[in-house]
A and B are shown apart, each in its own frame.
Chain A
């Protein structure tokens, strides 16, 4: 780990962050379309190819919008949601972490940005009225309650920088000591699992034109960012950590991290398509999602807490030393 952040690393990290953000935002519609197609494949329907979502967004963006009641507000909400989503995407490590001295956000800020984006995405439904209003209110309520439901997960990450947290997790193998964090990743994954989409039907209401495109892009971004977060937490070992050796190993790690990211996304797409097979009403979906996130997070926290004295993973080495010492003491006592 670097102790002094050189300017070269600084700029490299900035570049990597920009690249990550761009990749996330550009890949989001693809991922969403791919999940949609997989769901269709699983249910035996024919859906658009994976690129269709992206083309749809593109096409909607160029279309002239119909002016409806409350469109100004919903347009604003869509823009705000997209900004928040991109902001969250820029904070999410896709294939590399940032070195220690680099300003990195906490996990709470990340979650709050994502939840805020989801709230803004639910706003147009409520503003426009009509049949979708009830669903919109439900979505708003569910998203508002998401942050309390995430409390165990937030406690696990603690108040430290997210990048530092992941750098600690990086040392743990997910098949061994890091297994509780796989559970945490599953909890994070479930945040998106029963999101407002029911097998091809969107909750986007009656938006039109560019607003609709922005809405779709923002929704896809939020989904992909949650998934990426879950993947990062579940297996932090795939992320590159700058400053370990030189620039070359870092770049190689970045490439590998990108490949691993794609692999994680494909697994997540399969799982997401599987969850879409479950047909639930939207109220029930919201309840199932919140309860699953909260309870799984709680379980993960407990499992992690039993071994590693909770969120303070910083003194992990100390506790390991304690363990070793106690083991030696046991050894000394038994013969």
Chain B
């Protein structure tokens, strides 16, 4: 009975309550609990497996964006796990139940591994988000492994290692297929504007209307982070909307400005859009530029070299892109104006749909998103614009991966 054995169920509860972030700590504590028990090859193997299965998935998930799935299960779930642990302890830890069990006579005894596994099972069954369920399964792996190592059952440890591999691999595959790659949060500094290669990819997440048609509802908070705001949203359902701190200034700005341009665009006809774009040509374009780059990283590299040509042919060609002007113009005003981002993206999308379709077909044959089916149709409602922005970011991200 060591402190690590006590801490492991608590950390498993933290995983149930908060999400995947606690998984590496749980893995480390579980490994410590194994190694403190005894130091033999079995224990070392188990500890190595546990650390591997706890650290690697978290690192892997951190490269993807949170899918923003709304969690309908409330804060009562960890208490369910805690109650199950108590029942388990009651059923196995009492001297009467331990009478026929050998090995732990008298000493303080907690079936820690099974408690951890129970917590993981609760997380798998009660949480809806895929990543959370994955974390729950990995917690199960940790728990069963700990229990098997402590009980010194080689078979169980081996089978659990195999199951852990299966869960980690298949879960990682599923994550790779259903989630977006994370992009570096844009415009944290001005360095990104000067160095195109180092520029953050991806569109501004805050530009997309969270209530839009895309089922995955990318909100500004859906960057990989501890799942704090699900609680806030649950609270917002209950009573007054709670404030959401911890957004960068720009995101706040973009989300506050957001409704206005979308209304504008709903009214604006195509011609008006084009005119507005020309009018805005000398205004701040860095937001636009950033957006363009995020969208088309490869094309951007070519366009950088072709910038003068683009500039000369900009007014006539249908493929006119304000990027050229930006590169030839001064980069002096590089405050990212979300209106520009919002305004320029539909035009770019309108001009590129066939190309987009090609990209989708040869780059990502197994997209399983329902909304990835058809590129932009003719009449552009704000929802469609938002979806297109999303789709573009998604496709190029996947393309970059491939």
Contact = CB atoms under 8 A, between A and B. Distances in A.
Interface of A: 43-45, 174-177, 179-180, 182-183, 186, 277-281, 284, 288, 291-292, 295-296, 298-299, 302-308, 319, 322-323, 326
B246 A44 contact: yes
Contacts of B210: none
Most chain B C-beta atoms within 10 Å of own C-beta, residue among A183, A279, A284: A279
A303 B110 contact: yes
A31 B107 CA distance: 38
B94 A306 contact: yes
A302 B86 contact: yes
Interface string B1-27: 111011101100000001000000000
A135 B85 CA distance: 32
Contacts of B229: 279
B29 to A, nearest CB: 12
B93 interface: yes
Nearest to A298: B86
B6 A182 contact: yes
B106 A323 contact: yes
B82 interface: yes
Given A292-B79, A299-B86, A307-B106, A174 B245 contact: no
Contacts of B90: 302
B83 interface: yes
Nearest to A324: B106
B1 A177 contact: yes
Interface in B73-115: 75, 79, 82-83, 85-86, 89-90, 93-95, 98, 105-110
Contacts of B246: 43-44
A308 B108 CA distance: 7
A326 B231 contact: no
Given A182-B3, A295-B79, A278 B228 contact: yes
Contact of B232 (A175, A279, A303): A279
A179 B32 CA distance: 15
Contact of B89 (A45, A280, A288, A302): A302
Contacts of A302: 86, 89-90, 93
Given A279-B232, A303-B93, A177 B108 contact: yes
Contacts of B109: 303, 306-307
List of 8 A-B pairs having minimum Cβ-Cβ separation, nearest first: A307-B108, A306-B93, A175-B3, A179-B6, A295-B82, A279-B232, A323-B106, A302-B89
B366 interface: no
Interface string B229-265: 1011001001100100110000000000000000000
A235 to B, nearest CB: 10
A284 B57 CA distance: 32
Contacts of A306: 89, 93-95, 98, 108-110
Contact of B108 (A43, A175, A179): A179
Interface residues of B, number: 38
A295 B86 CA distance: 8
Given A295-B79, A308-B108, A180 B6 contact: yes
Contacts of A45: 245
Contacts of B10: 183, 186
B236 to A, nearest CB: 9
A44 B93 contact: no
B93 A279 contact: no
A165 B402 CA distance: 64
Contact of B239 (A281, A292, A323): A281
A66 to B, nearest CB: 27
Most chain B C-beta atoms within 10 Å of own C-beta, residue among A176, A299, A307, A319: A299
A176 B2 contact: yes
B231 A278 contact: yes
Contact of B235 (A279, A296, A305, A308): A279
A319 B2 contact: no
B231 A279 contact: yes
A179 B8 CA distance: 12
Contacts of B242: 279
A7 B306 CA distance: 94
Contact of B245 (A43, A182, A307): A43
B79 to A, nearest CB: 5
Nearest to B229: A279
Nearest to A300: B6
Contacts of B82: 291-292, 295-296, 299
A17 to B, nearest CB: 30
Contacts of A295: 79, 82-83, 86
A291 B79 contact: yes
Interface string B104-142: 011111100000000000000000000000000000000
B201 to A, nearest CB: 24
B292 to A, nearest CB: 30
A183 B108 CA distance: 13
B238 A281 contact: yes
Given A174-B3, A281-B235, A284-B235, A303 B106 contact: no
Contacts of A326: 105-106
9 contacts: A179-B5, A180-B6, A278-B231, A279-B229, A279-B242, A288-B75, A302-B89, A306-B109, A306-B110
B81 to A, nearest CB: 10
Nearest to B4: A175
A252 B246 CA distance: 45
A306 B93 CA distance: 6
A280 B231 contact: yes
Contacts of A44: 245-246
Contacts of B85: 299
Nearest to A280: B231
Contacts of B239: 281
B250 to A, nearest CB: 14
Contacts of A175: 2-3
A44 B10 CA distance: 27
